[in-house]
Every structure is written in structure tokens, then in C-alpha cells.
Amino acid sequence: MGGKSDIRLIDENGIRIDGRRRDEMRPVRIEAGVLKRADGSAYLEWGDNKVIAAVYGPREVHPKHLQETNRAIVQYYYAMAPFSVDDRKRPGPDRRSTEISKISAEALENVIFVEQFPRTTIDVYVTVLQASAGTRCAALTAASVAVADAGIPMRDLVAACAAGKVEDQVVLDLVKEEDNFGQADMPIAIVPKTGEIVLMQMDGHMTLDEIDEAMDMAIKACYDIYEIQKEALWKKYERLAEEEVV
Amino acid sequence: MGGKSDIRLIDENGIRIDGRRRDEMRPVRIEAGVLKRADGSAYLEWGDNKVIAAVYGPREVHPKHLQETNRAIVQYYYAMAPFSVDDRKRPGPDRRSTEISKISAEALENVIFVEQFPRTTIDVYVTVLQASAGTRCAALTAASVAVADAGIPMRDLVAACAAGKVEDQVVLDLVKEEDNFGQADMPIAIVPKTGEIVLMQMDGHMTLDEIDEAMDMAIKACYDIYEIQKEALWKKYERLAEEEVV
Amino acid sequence: MGGKSDIRLIDENGIRIDGRRRDEMRPVRIEAGVLKRADGSAYLEWGDNKVIAAVYGPREVHPKHLQETNRAIVQYYYAMAPFSVDDRKRPGPDRRSTEISKISAEALENVIFVEQFPRTTIDVYVTVLQASAGTRCAALTAASVAVADAGIPMRDLVAACAAGKVEDQVVLDLVKEEDNFGQADMPIAIVPKTGEIVLMQMDGHMTLDEIDEAMDMAIKACYDIYEIQKEALWKKYERLAEEEVV
Amino acid sequence: MRREIVSRLRKEYIASILAKGERMDGRRLDESRSINIQFNVTGSAEGSARVQIGKTDVIVGVKMGVGTPYPDSPESGVLSTNAELSPIAAPNFETGPPREDAIELARVTDRAIRESGAVDFDSLCITPGEEVWMLFIDIQPVDYDGNLFDAAEIGALAALMSAKIPYSRMEEGAEDKPLPVRCFPVSITAAKIGDSIVFDPNLDEEHLADARLTVGVDENGAVRAMQKGLSGGFTREEVGKIIRTAGVLGDERRRLLFEAAEEAGVPVPR
Amino acid sequence: MRREIVSRLRKEYIASILAKGERMDGRRLDESRSINIQFNVTGSAEGSARVQIGKTDVIVGVKMGVGTPYPDSPESGVLSTNAELSPIAAPNFETGPPREDAIELARVTDRAIRESGAVDFDSLCITPGEEVWMLFIDIQPVDYDGNLFDAAEIGALAALMSAKIPYSRMEEGAEDKPLPVRCFPVSITAAKIGDSIVFDPNLDEEHLADARLTVGVDENGAVRAMQKGLSGGFTREEVGKIIRTAGVLGDERRRLLFEAAEEAGVPVPR
Amino acid sequence: MRREIVSRLRKEYIASILAKGERMDGRRLDESRSINIQFNVTGSAEGSARVQIGKTDVIVGVKMGVGTPYPDSPESGVLSTNAELSPIAAPNFETGPPREDAIELARVTDRAIRESGAVDFDSLCITPGEEVWMLFIDIQPVDYDGNLFDAAEIGALAALMSAKIPYSRMEEGAEDKPLPVRCFPVSITAAKIGDSIVFDPNLDEEHLADARLTVGVDENGAVRAMQKGLSGGFTREEVGKIIRTAGVLGDERRRLLFEAAEEAGVPVPR
């Protein structure tokens, strides 16, 4: 946020640098059940973002002192592959990924029936293979599908999308250049069935009216994401059914 | 020790750079019971040193293999706040603080009735908020009050003070410039009731006679410190008594 | 491997830079039982390599989750003393020593009757005090003697030696300059009684015929090493016997 | 087991009085605890402050040093914010490298300062591409009774306001100059307990909270930062109300900050 | 306990059919699983590839940047190879710093590339002694069904073949050029189970294996790297046979690599 | 339990004979074990020594390299002292980063050398503010039978005495020169067991010791360093006596050091 640029990010016709309208999301494609070894998995492409998610659990907690006697814990590991960004990222968690992992775990905990699995852990690993802004929303969206793919009881999925502000206009789903040179970014995740907001961050500068507009835009997009998530799971179940028939 | 300086550290009247005489200690102020969450605590100002100490325990030991079956262990964590020195100190323990923590824990163990609390730990955390030479003595002096404030059974307090050598003269309680450009520093801690020396270090250059003089000077100062420690605890008990009356 | 050099590493008479013939090993000297505290130990000089090995076990495993219910684990710690090489080596394991430790542990496991000591660990520590190429073979050779010296039941020793390629000729037991500027290095360890190869690495460039020649050469040398190992243990037992008589 | 029952009862009780609009410590739901701000509490820092919100007590120090700028912003000073959750402040805090709680606290504080443009980083350039001022904000809670986010953020802002750029360290005879602060974002934290929203939650309330939202608002009423925490959710409407209340509470807290600064002789805008 | 008996029975059964020259998945003992190689799978890398050998699935990315050469080779580019055994690929993999398995995988892959001279490091010099290209090979398994060594190595080779040196990043208007690859070492891994040697072991076979040998062979039939693993031993003769079979399998796999490259428009020698 | 009783009995017995002025190994209370000092034990170091005090066995290596001086002492070489308590030396030593015991050992040794001015760091300047010699002292105990402090310190001193500044590595044809050592501090350690003070405690005695005091004395009888350890206390008088006895024992040990040096052809003052 807040960098300077001579680039016009939105032209006189309201068209953004990658050809989208203000309230248009990048294309999103999700595939569920892509891995053999993981209990659940998903692969997601969101514009130029590429993300893979794997889920294990409920399984034993190590070390033991992390156990909760009355519920499962949710551990979320957001990581960027070293080759996912222009300047190679050193492997291992940094402060940014630690924070993203924390708030994403909290969001997922909301929809998982953790009380059903005391003393266990549900481990969610998401790796960004290619990054172009919005990776925390892409990761959480994929992770949610992977948890469902693992057959872990959930009351709903979590769907995520960001809105923000670029050249004094509220826009949906910022792309890399907009993220670098825009005025605000606000990732949101919701539980679609209830509309509850389970993840929300914002930095930059927005008036109250802009916040309202951005929230409306992002929440609407989350419902579109939700449809894509459900479709991915649907396709996976169809595939399984076919295999069983065969 | 051993740095070079053009500064005169002691003038022709025997007055030191901060106006003190050779055997004069900087002003020391201690307040006990300053924190809500800690079991015991103390805040100390010693010249330009500012130190805060918190104590927990006796409490469970983690990891378990550190437990001693016949006594409590004493764990001491000396730390410097990043902003406590001229060049910002990176957070986390370094080799110096590890050594100080070790010898300070040993000194405190001397006065705590550790046999009364087998398999437990008494954890002492001391953070230097502002540093100007003599922080290990300041920290141990504050820690000792915080242990007492926690109500942990002790046979006595530990009182600490350094003496050293500057411009070929033995002096008490070196200030930063004297520490940097002086010839020797010798921190000492005693158990006042018995006079036993429980912490002692020295580096630089001192003859046997100078060592004797410095020991006498430092031990005498420890008894002054002891009075200030007891007064701080006294005031805390008075405060408690008043609160109870109200 | 693969560096460039103007140095002739083998002269027209087939004599190498340190005066050896192609198939000649550097002098090797081993002493068993050199340490008081270790359960077993050995000191080895192999050309300019100096290595010390200590063994403990079978003993309890920490942390417990490393335990194997049906056998002892073998933990091998290869280390280079900071002063063992031209440019001071930073203490602590690096990637190279981790890899060497892994394959050396696997080789030793082959000959130790690990099934006899379930839930325990056999810990092997080897430190290179002076290094001149071939340290992994020297370390494993010494470690094997130290394990035997600890009285741990073994079906045989492990003997190690490297062969390689220098100036298009297969040579035995490369010295530092040959390692730096040669064309291939291939460390091998065998179980002499059966001839099985339990450690084998190679990098560089060798034809199939060269590999065959190098393997023959290295294996033959391993049998020479084996004699030196047995002699070292023999001397140790003699020493013990004498002490008992006295 | 018994402890769990007790704590469940306690939770039910607190929720029930919250439903009536009351809090255990007598505050209104949208009322902050009393706040106390001291400036220049440690002479070794370029700037420092101690903030007490109720019994929560945080010391923040600002250190400055000369360093190299990032290649992609060669004319900007560098900000680094760190929080140390030392066991001094609470029995469950642990020594060792910062964990996710400390990292979140530091990053949320960092963003509130950085993204609001509170500091003009371009004014911290010494030689473009070579030397710039590094600005370290170190957050050291000493007593934790809930709502570290707000205490850390106002502490960071106060420490920056009191900071002096140490030019005298670079050049003999040069004079230290106040670090210019040009925006005053204030973080206000709300917690959701059952169906109630409370502001400036204390420790008891944090233990019961289902969800948390921290909102950074500036003196013009604009939002500069937000961070939701915990696994509970907020409705769209709850978020809207929290943001609006944060604006009011932020103005009040900013006024207290300016009053304390004036009293301490620390420069204040206007 | 019961699980142990089952697994012992399973081991005996597999060993018995291996003794007859058969494998559980119908392959011949010296037959690789089907292999699938994709190039340029991630746009943020200078070069990348995804390799599937059976169900084993590895992504390899090549990143390049400008750095300082080592003092003892001032005119050579610098290679750094890293493997991340993320739990994404297998339930028993763990987060945290690389352990011995990841380190061995990275180092064996690194040596196969480095010692074969696959890359001309002297061509990666920009200014002798000052600036050279750093070449990072990052190996990211995403599904582990045995034989990571072979998948990682062929993936690294493919990623290098598809890599472009990013001159455009150094100088406006400059053109990126393909990274020249001049040797094509292929790693072939064999496992010993009982008295049988199987090639390209899958996960089940790896669990049963007593010993493992990875052989890197180049297009001229020369051996460029070897690595033995596990506590079992090989006889002198077994090693000889494995090396010779590796030559044959290596030629086959190299042919598949070149075919895939050609299809993807990646330059291939000849 | 039974082991504890045995060890208590043992402790009582040893204390009782100590009270009579006797030690288990027949030494007088103020008598060192026999000491053996070898020089240049490893050719890869610039200087090295092996010191055996009784069964305690320590190798010390000195490495030198070119590095950057500290900004606050631009004309001084840099000393770094490190001790590795490898399990080779004792079953309870652990691998991993140095713990408090290793750190204390290294720092006490470092101070004895540094604060005594044993090495003229100004003579290690190559180009003021840019290049100086870095001096690394690495302490590697290989057998631990008590009193590592004394063995490490005399080993460090011996290694320094045998060290050659490797000028030949900087400039072709230049000659290496001995590192000048100009002060010879010797550390003497005493332990308090019950009411007795023993010098050069062996492992058994260390296990029983209540308090420990290490005193570094130079050839002029001045004290250069002290370090008290363990939780027991010393009286004012005990400290005085230990310091004085340390002077006598230090002279004796320094004489043995010089004798060994002379025999080994290592330059000795006088």
C-alpha cells in the first residue's frame, strides 16, 4: 500500500490495468482431491495465483501440551514456495506468514465441528506456488475446500475475497500492481450460510462510506467464490461415484 | 575495561565524573509489588539504571526433565530491553545475558529454601529498561526483592554492588564511562545476615591490596543496599495492611 | 571435484603429489580406548587427518518419540572442530555434516545387533581435529572401533576408504589437492566378513570400467584398514589384561 | 473439571449482565478504562512512552540508527516494529523467539503506524540509496490485563511523538531534531461476548470473547487499519457499528494523548 | 502389535513375488513407472517443471538473482539447491528447518547437477569477483509415493532447461536468454528388497527396502553421481548390475525428457 | 533412592577426610594434579595446544582470518572465544548450540586473555577501520574429569603462544610471524566442599562442591579475572586466601607452561 507510481491503474472508462471492471473478480478455478497422500486437498488458481492445500486430521497432537481436552485444535501453515515471487523467498516461516496462518486458523475453526474431536489436531498446509496479490484469500479458500475434501465435519465452508481502494475508487480483488500502488486493501472471509465475517484485515486509507462499499463488494464476491468451491467438491464426489461404479 | 580515553575520570579533589566520591554509591530506589499479574515484582532505579523484576513460583517445571526430585530449581532470565542501550540491542538472550543469568540464579538459590518445593521451578525475570553500568547488580538486587514479594520462603535477601578501579584508584559502583575506560570492575553479591559472598566476578587489573580494598568497599555498600531492599518490602507490607483495613 | 589447477597431480612415473603410488593408501594409525568418560573411544590418524570418536550406549532415548520399540537406534554425529580446516569452520552441524552423519549411521546400523537393545540409542560422536580429504571414511573407521571398544555387540566392524580419479587415472585415498582438483571421488565402506558395501557415494565423472577399477581398489584397501582396526582393539585388550594382572 | 464448571458459570453470569448492558467493572459497553500516558520514560531511547490502560501497562521505546535503505525504496527510512511478550507481563507468556501472538501485536501496531503515514519516511533519508535512518519501535508489555493492541499502538504513537532524530551522533555539534509525526491514528479494540460488543476489553472479558476487532482511525475519521481476531464471527452490521464507535472513542483517546503530551512538553499539532 | 504382524506378512508376501520377478503393480523389476514432465508451471520462476513419476509429484523452480561469487571461484556463478519436504506431500513430513532426509535429497540432486557440469557456471559471471548469477534450485514435492530422488533430479534438470537468465531485470531493454544446459545427467534409483533389486521403487517398496542406490548417468554412459542409502548392504556384483541397468533406464528417461521438452517448445540439444 | 543414600554417604566420607586435610587421590588440598602441555597438535590451526590436567583433556585451536574491526575500535584486532562441550568429553554433555556451561567457560577464558592484555590487539590491525586480524580461540574438551576452567585457560594461552599470524595467506611470499603474547595470566580454580577449600578439583570433588572460585593471576602477581560459581557462598576470608594461594599455584603452572614451550621450540619470554 501507499507506494508511488506513474502508472494509471484505472483508465477513463473505469477499466483496470488487467482489463477488469471495478467490481470484477479475477477468474478462479478450484480442483478438489488432487493429492494421494493427504487426507484432503485442493488446487486453486485465482488469476495468476496458484495455491495447493493439503489437510490431515483429526490426528494426534505433538507436542502433547498443545492438546485441548474438549476440542480439536486447528493448525494452519501458510507458506510461499521460494520460486513463487520475483525475488526468491527464503524457505521457512516469516512474520507475515505466521500472522496469516494465525488468522486463517481462527477463521477455519469457526466452521469445523472441533468439539467432536477432543485432544486432536486438524493440520492445514497451504503453499503458494505462484503469487500475485490476494494470496491469503486464495489460500484460505483452497484450504476450506481441502478440509471438506478430507471429510471433516463442517457447518459450512469459508469463502474469502479482498476489496480495496485504488485511485480513490473502491475495487474488488486487487492484483499485484494495485496492491503495490493502491490506497487500501481489505481481505475478508465469510461463512456464507450465516453471512458472518470470520476474517477481516485492512490497511491503507478508507472513509466509512468506502469501507461500507468495499465490504458489500467483497461479501458479494465471497458468495461467488462459495459457488466455485461447492462446484469443485461436487465434481470430486462425481468423480468418486464414477470410480466406484467402474 | 581497558578502553582508552582522554577524559579525566577522577579530578584532583577525588570527585568522579558524576560528582560522587570514591566510596559513594549512586542513589538507589526500589519499589516492591509493582505488577498485578506476577506473583512477586519489584522496580528499581539505580543511578541511570532502570530495572523491573517479576517472579513466578514455585510452579510446575516444563520441560519435565529439568525437574529436581528433591528441590525447586531457580531459573533466572536477565534481559535488556532493545531500547535500554545506545545502540539498539537485538531482542533475545546473548552470551553475556546467559552468563549473568546463570551466576545470578546460583546466587539466589543460596537464600531460597528450595528443598521445601521439590519438582517445581521458581522463575525470575528481570528486564533492564535503561542501562548505565552495574546492571547485573541492579537486576539481582531487584530480583531478590521480587522473590521476597512473591512470598517465597528465604533465609535472607541477596544484596549486590560492584567496586572497581579507575585511574589507579579503587572506587565504588562504576558508572558507564568508568566501566568503559576504567581498569577493573568487580561485582559482588552477599547474603547480608552471614556476610557470605554468593556472586563474584572481576576483570581488569588489581593488586591484592586493591582487591581487598574493593571487597571491603563493595561489601559495605551491599549492607546499604540491604536496608533499601528491606524498606521497599516494608512499604509494600504497610500498603497491603492499609488496603486490608480499608 | 572439478576445480581447475595447473598443478600436475601425478608425475610421469605415476607418483602422486604426496609421493604415493596410484593404489597406495596414506598411513593409518588407530588407538582404541583413549578416553576416560566415554563408554568406547578411538583416536585415528590417517595421513594428515586426525579424528577422535566417542560412543555411549545403549542408553535411554531423548526425546522419547525417537524410540523404536523393537530395536536400538544409532545416532551418529560427525563434526569438524572449528580449527580443523584452513578457514575456520563455524561450530554446529551444517548440511554436509548432516548428510555424512545420516549415511554413516546407516552403515554402522548394519553391523550392530540393534534388535538386542529395544528402546535405546547408541550415540556415536566423531570430531575431526585436522582435515585433509577422506574425513568421512576416517571418521567411520574410527567410529566403528569406538563402538567395538564400548563392548556393544557387533557382527563385524565397518571399514572405509575412498578411491577416485585424478588426471584420468583411478587412484586410492585422495589427498586434499586431489580432492579439490581431481575428477571423481568415491568413498566406500564395507563389512569385511561378507564384503557387503554399506556406504557408497560418488561424484565427478567415471566410466563403467573406471568405477569397477575404483571399487576393487577401495574394497581391497578396506581390508587393510580392517587389519589396522582389529590390531588397535587387540592392543587395547592386551593393555586391559596387563592392567588386570598388575 | 470443577474449575471448568466454575468458569462456565462465570461466563454465563458475565454474559447475562452484558446482555443487560452492564460490565463487571461498572463501565458502559462502549467505555474505555482510564488511561495514563507518560513520555520519555527511558533516557537510552530516542523516544519512549509508558501507557497504562487500566492495569495493562506497556512500555514502548523508539531507537534510531543509520542503515541501508531497501533497494525498492532507496529514499525512505526503514521501520521495524517488534513486540516482546516477556513473562514479566503475564504468567503464561514465555521466553524465546516471538510467537504468533507477539508477531500479530507487532505487525498490527506496525501497520497502524506505517499505513497511516504517521511518519514521513522520506524525511528519514540521509543519502539516497546509501544511508537512511532506521526506526525501531520496541513494545515491552510489563503488566497484561487485557487489550494490549490499544496500549501498544498508543504507546508507539506517543514514543514517536517524543522521539528525537539523533543527528548529534552522526556529526559533532549537530543538533537532534524532533521526529516529525504528521498523522495520529488511534487503535480501538472491541470484543464480542455472546451477542454483546464491549470496547477496551479487560483480561476477564478477553478470556470470554468469541471475536475481536481492532480498528485504527485517524483524526479525520478515516479508517487506517483493521484486524479481526479469534474464531467467532461478526455480522456485517456489527462491524459497521464498531467502526463508527471506534471513531468516537479514538477522538477521545487522541485528546487524552495530546493533553498528556502538552503537559510533558512534547510537541503536539495545532 | 497386530499391525506389525500384518506388515510382516505383507513384507513376506511381496518378497516372495519379487523372488519370482513380479511386482505388486505389475511392473518388471527393472521398469520405471510412467513419467510425466511439464515445463514452466509457475510464471514467477525463471524456470520450472513438474514431474510425476507414478503418483509421486514434484515441482521444481529455478530462481536467478545477482550476488557475490565465492572468493575461491570469482568467475563462477553460484548454485544453491534446497528441498522442502512439506507435509503437503506426506503425513509424516514435518514443518520446520530441513531434516536429514530433505538435506540428503537436496545435496544428492545438487551434486548430480553440479558435478556433471550440466550448467556452465563460468557463463554466469557478470563482473569477475564482484557480480555473478546465483542459481537457486528449489525442490517442492507435493505428493510422495516413493522415489523422490529421481523425480527431484529430472525435475531440476527440466527446470534448468526451461530457465531464462533474466538480463531484462539488470538492464532496461535487455533480453532474457535461455540458461545453457550442456550435460543431461539422469538419476536412476534402485532398491534392494530381500535378494531382489527393483528400480524406481514406489512407496510400498521403499518401506520394505533394505538398501537403496541412486546412480546418476549422463548421455555418454558415464557415471556422474552415486548415493547409497539405508542400512542394508549391496554386494560388489549388485552394484555393478545396478549401474549398468541405470545406464539403460537413464537413456530411456532422457528420451522422454527431450520429447516433453520439444513438445513444450523448450530447447533440446541436437 | 538407594543411589542417593550411597552418594550422601560418599559425600560425608569425602568431607570427613577433607576436614583432616586429605583428598581421595592423595593430593594436598592446595595441590594441582599433574599437568601435560603439548603444542601445535593440529596443523590446520594457526596455533594449538593440548592440555591434560589429570584425566581432564582439552584441545584448543587458534584460527586467524582477515575481517572488519568493530566501529568503536577501528585499529584493533577482534577476539572471539568459543567452547564446545561435545558429548565426546562426558556423557551428560549434549550436542546443539552452546548452553550456559559452555558459554560461561568460553567467556571466563576470553576475559582472562582479553582483560590481561595477553595479546596486543593493536598489533593485529592491517588497515585501520577496514581490515584487521580476527583471532578465534576454540576450546574443545575431549575428556572431562573436572576443572575445565583451568585446562581451557592454560590451553588458550599455550595455543596463542604457538600461533603464527598467517601473512603468507594475504600476500604471496610474505612470511608468517609469531603472534606476540605479552602477558601470561594463569587461571587457578578452587572449590569449597563443606568447610574445606580444595584446589584444582577433580570431577568427584566438583560434584560435591558447594562453591567454586576461579582466579586469573599474572606473572606480576596481579589479579586479572575472577569468577565465582555454584550456589554456595565464600566468606570474605576464604576469598582472600584463595586469591593468595592462586598466586603461588599460578607461578608454578606458568613455569610448567614455559618449560613445555621451551621443549617444543615455542618462544618464551626472557
What is the rounded CA–CA span in Å between residue A173 and residue A186? Answer: 9
Q: What is the pLDDT of residues F223-253, one digit of tens each?
A: 999 999 999 999 999 999 999 999 999 999 9
CB distance D143–B79 less than 8 Å? no
Q: Examine the pLDDT at E177 and tell me if it is beyond 90.
A: yes
Q: What is the pLDDT of residues D135-175, one digit of tens each?
A: 999 999 999 999 999 999 999 999 999 999 999 988 888 99
CB distance F221–B207 less than 8 Å? yes
3-state secondary structure of B132: coil
Calculated CA dihedral for residues D13, D18, D24, D28, nearest 10 degrees: -170
- Tell me which of D40, D41, D88 to substitute to probe the interface with B (most B C-beta atoms closer than 10 Å): D88
Asked if B174 and B136 count as a contact pair (C-beta separation under 8 A), the reply is no
The shortest C-alpha distance from D257 to chain A (Å) reads 22
Which chain E residue has the Cα nearest residue C200? E228
Q: What is the pLDDT of residues E120-136, one digit of tens each?
A: 999 999 999 999 999 99
- Tell me, what DSSP letter sits at residue C33? -
Read out DSSP for C95-128? HHHHHHHHHHHHHHHHHB-GGGSTTEEEEEEEEE
Contact C1/E at CB under 8 A: yes
Q: What is the pLDDT of residues A139-188, one digit of tens each?
A: 999 999 999 999 999 999 999 999 999 999 999 999 999 999 999 999 99
Q: Of all residues in chain E, what percent carry a pLDDT higher than 90?
A: 83
Q: What mean pLDDT is reported for chain D? A: 93
Q: Examine the pLDDT at D7 and tell me if it is beyond 80.
A: no
Nearest to F162 by CA among F40, F2, F33: F40
Per DSSP bridges, beta strands B169-172 and E196-199 are: unpaired
N- to C-terminal Cα distance for chain A?
53
Confidence at A219, pLDDT banded by 50, 70, 90: very high
**Pairwise pLDDT comparison (E270 vs A50), residue with the higher score:** A50
The shortest C-alpha distance from F84 to chain B (Å) reads 14
What is the rounded CA–CA span in Å between residue F148 and residue F84? Answer: 12
Confidence at F3, pLDDT banded by 50, 70, 90: very low
Which segment of A4-13, A61-70, D177-186, E49-58 scores lowest on mean pLDDT?
A4-13
Q: Examine the pLDDT at F5 and tell me if it is beyond 80.
A: no
What is the rounded CA–CA span in Å between residue D213 and residue D233? Answer: 10
* Residue carrying the nine cell digits 530462481: E63
Q: Examine the pLDDT at B5 and tell me if it is beyond 90.
A: no
Task: Give the CA diameter of chain A.
Answer: 59
Nearest to C80 by CA among C67, C93, C69: C93
Calculated CA dihedral for residues D43, D48, D52, D53, nearest 10 degrees: 180
Strand residue runs (E) in F123-259: 125-127, 131-143, 164-165, 177-178, 186-193, 196-199, 211-217, 223-229
The predicted structure's pLDDT at residue B164: 97
Calculated CA dihedral for residues C94, C96, C100, C102, nearest 10 degrees: 60
CB distance B203–F115 less than 8 Å? yes
- Tell me, what DSSP letter sits at residue B65? G
The predicted structure's pLDDT at residue C67: 93
What is the rounded CA–CA span in Å between residue C136 and residue C150? Answer: 21
CB interface of A with D, residues 139-178, below 8 Å: none
For chain A, list the contacting chains (3+ Cβ pairs, <8 Å).
D, E
Neighbours of C203 (CB within 10 A): 26
Asked if E102 and E149 count as a contact pair (C-beta separation under 8 A), the reply is no
Q: Of all residues in chain A, what percent carry a pLDDT higher than 90?
A: 90
Q: Examine the pLDDT at E4 and tell me if it is beyond 80.
A: no
In this complex, the residue of E100, E221, E222 whose CB is nearest that of residue C98 is E100
Give me the residues paired with residue F181 across strands. F119
Question: Taking CB atoms and an 8 Å cutoff, what residues of chain D touch B18?
Answer: none
- Tell me which of E39, E41, E42, E44 to substitute to probe the interface with A (most A C-beta atoms closer than 10 Å): E44
Q: pTM of the prediction?
A: 0.95
**Pairwise pLDDT comparison (F87 vs E269), residue with the higher score:** F87
The predicted structure's pLDDT at residue D10: 79
CB interface of E with A, residues 5-44, below 8 Å: 41-44
Kind and range of the H or E element at C164? Answer: strand C159-166
What is the rounded CA–CA span in Å between residue E5 and residue E2? Answer: 5
Chains E and D are in contact, defined as 3 or more C-beta pairs closer than 8 angstroms? no
Q: Examine the pLDDT at D78 and tell me if it is beyond 60.
A: yes
- Tell me which of D41, D78, D94, D142 to substitute to probe the interface with B (most B C-beta atoms closer than 10 Å): D142
Domains, chain C, with CATH or none: 28-245 (3.30.230.70)
The predicted structure's pLDDT at residue E264: 95
Calculate ∠ Cα B143-B149-B154, nearest 5°: 75
Question: Taking CB atoms and an 8 Å cutoff, what residues of chain A touch E136?
Answer: 82-83, 88
3-state secondary structure of B236: helix
Question: Taking CB atoms and an 8 Å cutoff, what residues of chain C touch E234?
Answer: 196-197, 200
3-state secondary structure of C49: strand
Count, in order, helices (H) and strands (E) of chain E. 6, 12
How far from C80 is each of C30, C92, F94, F213, CA to CA, in Å?
A: 19, 9, 16, 32
Confidence at E2, pLDDT banded by 50, 70, 90: very low
**Pairwise pLDDT comparison (C32 vs F170), residue with the higher score:** C32
**Pairwise pLDDT comparison (B58 vs B6), residue with the higher score:** B58
* Residue carrying the nine cell digits 481502494: A165
Contact A50/E at CB under 8 A: yes
How far from A16 is each of A19, B92, D50, F4, CA to CA, in Å?
A: 5, 46, 46, 79
Chains B and D are in contact, defined as 3 or more C-beta pairs closer than 8 angstroms? yes
In this complex, the residue of B2, B95, B198 whose CB is nearest that of residue F107 is B95
Q: What is the pLDDT of residues B154-205, one digit of tens each?
A: 999 999 999 999 999 999 999 999 999 999 999 999 999 999 999 999 999 9
In CATH, what number does E33-264 get? 3.30.230.70
* Residue carrying the nine cell digits 571435484: C1
- Tell me which of C18, C86, C88 to substitute to probe the interface with F (most F C-beta atoms closer than 10 Å): C88
Q: What is the pLDDT of residues F20-77, one digit of tens each?
A: 999 989 999 999 999 999 999 999 999 999 999 999 999 999 999 999 999 889 999 9
Q: What number of C-beta contacts closer than 8 Å exist between A and E?
A: 90
In this complex, the residue of E98, E117, E226 whose CB is nearest that of residue C200 is E226
Confidence at C1, pLDDT banded by 50, 70, 90: low
Amino acid letter, B44: L
Asked if B110 and B147 count as a contact pair (C-beta separation under 8 A), the reply is no
The predicted structure's pLDDT at residue E1: 34
In this complex, the residue of C99, C199, C202 whose CB is nearest that of residue E104 is C99
Chain-centroid distance of CA E80 in Å reads 14
CB distance D59–B37 less than 8 Å? no
For chain F, list the contacting chains (3+ Cβ pairs, <8 Å).
B, C
Neighbours of B234 (CB within 10 A): 11
Confidence at C246, pLDDT banded by 50, 70, 90: low
Asked if B128 and B51 count as a contact pair (C-beta separation under 8 A), the reply is yes
Neighbours of D10 (CB within 10 A): 14
Confidence at B61, pLDDT banded by 50, 70, 90: very high
The predicted structure's pLDDT at residue E5: 60
- Tell me which of D100, D108, D184, D234 to substitute to probe the interface with A (most A C-beta atoms closer than 10 Å): D100
Q: Which residues contact B96 (CB under 8 A, 6 or more apart)?
A: F107
CB distance D91–B38 less than 8 Å? yes
The shortest C-alpha distance from A238 to chain D (Å) reads 32
Name the grid cell of B215: 571487597
The predicted structure's pLDDT at residue A6: 65
3-state secondary structure of F131: strand
Domain boundaries, chain E: 33-264
Confidence at E72, pLDDT banded by 50, 70, 90: confident
In this complex, the residue of C98, C110, C195 whose CB is nearest that of residue E236 is C195
Q: Examine the pLDDT at B218 and tell me if it is beyond 50.
A: yes
- Tell me which of F39, F142, F204 to substitute to probe the interface with C (most C C-beta atoms closer than 10 Å): F142
Residues E21-30: what's their mean pLDDT? Answer: 93
The predicted structure's pLDDT at residue A7: 74
Q: What number of C-beta contacts closer than 8 Å exist between A and D?
A: 96
Calculate ∠ Cα E159-E163-E169, nearest 5°: 140
Amino acid letter, A177: E
CB distance A110–D231 less than 8 Å? yes
Question: Taking CB atoms and an 8 Å cutoff, what residues of chain E touch C110?
Answer: 231-233
Question: Within a 13 Å sphere around the CA of C182, how many CA atoms are in the beta-carbon half?
Answer: 27
Confidence at A91, pLDDT banded by 50, 70, 90: very high
How far from F13 is each of A130, F17, F29, F191, CA to CA, in Å?
A: 72, 6, 16, 17
Kind and range of the H or E element at E135? Answer: strand E131-143
Give me the residues paired with residue E158 across strands. none
The predicted structure's pLDDT at residue D79: 96
Q: Examine the pLDDT at C132 and tell me if it is beyond 60.
A: yes
The predicted structure's pLDDT at residue D171: 85
The shortest C-alpha distance from C200 to chain E (Å) reads 5
The shortest C-alpha distance from F197 to chain B (Å) reads 15
Chain-centroid distance of CA A50 in Å reads 11
Q: What is the pLDDT of residues C143-189, one digit of tens each?
A: 999 999 999 999 999 999 999 999 999 999 999 999 999 999 999 99
